Amino acid sequence: MADKAEEGNPIVETIKTVVYALVIAGVFRTLFFQPFWIPSGSMKDTLLIGDFLFVNKMAYGYSQYSCPFGMCPISGRLFGSEPELGDVVVFRHPVNGADFIKRVVGLPGDRVQMQGGVLYINDQAVPQRPDGQFIETYERQGALGGLPLCQDLAVGLGGDCVKDRFIETLPNGVEHSVLDARPSPLDNTGVFTVPEGHFFFVGDNRDNSTDSRVAQPNGVGFVPYENLIGRADRIMFSSAGRSLFFVWTWRGDRFFKAIN
């Protein structure tokens, strides 16, 4: 018969198991992949509200923001490599500390501008070609319950919310879709010269995105390299409902979808 002292206290064993699991999860989240839910429509139609993805933290190396609450004891960046134009990146807002997800459209030294809703990089217009329309139901979306931005200001609940869609080709050949709902003050900006060690980010849903086109603290401004958390490569799961448990709202066609 086994000695009861050797069996251990069940409560202690349970606590140890939970602690080990939390440590393993913390290491995995810090070094490899961080889960991220899409809370807003700023990256439509590349990313939809309710998309769930894992952020690849190995893509750009590690900084203090690789740890939860920015607690990594790291100065600068370890094992770093810089993002490329067109990468979809999760980063820590330089002022308010929130995690944002946007697309890189300006590297250190680049000159970035919007003219007539067209992106210019280093004084060259980034080509766009029409790609039909993006149509969604005008209704409250996701846990935050926000309403989408539409071309038709008078569309009622349950109606079709329409935006024009274009395929944009960045100077390095990366293609991705962008949406245009209607004229916006951010369709025309001054020239932004990206400082060394910083990057310029814009949302694909151009008229409904808080990004580098507006300076901090109201916008994002230039984002320091050390604030980058990781690259978004693939959607793992997607739900159009306000709860994960609303099975009938799952978007099966978006499971494991690559992010372009």
The set of catalytic residues is 42, 102
The DSSP H or E segment spanning 175 is strand 175-180
DSSP string, 79-129: S-----TT-EEEEE-TTT--EEEEEEEE-TT-EEEEETTEEEETTEEPPEE
What strands lie across the sheet with 111-115, from one edge to the other? 124-125, 118-121, 111-115, 192-193
Of 96, 18, 104, 46, which is closest to residue 258 (Cα–Cα)?
A: 46
Phi-psi region of 249 (alpha: psi -120 to 50; beta: other; left: phi over 0): alpha
Q: Is the peptide bond before 45 cis (omega within 30 degrees of 0)?
A: yes
Tokens of 36: 């991220």
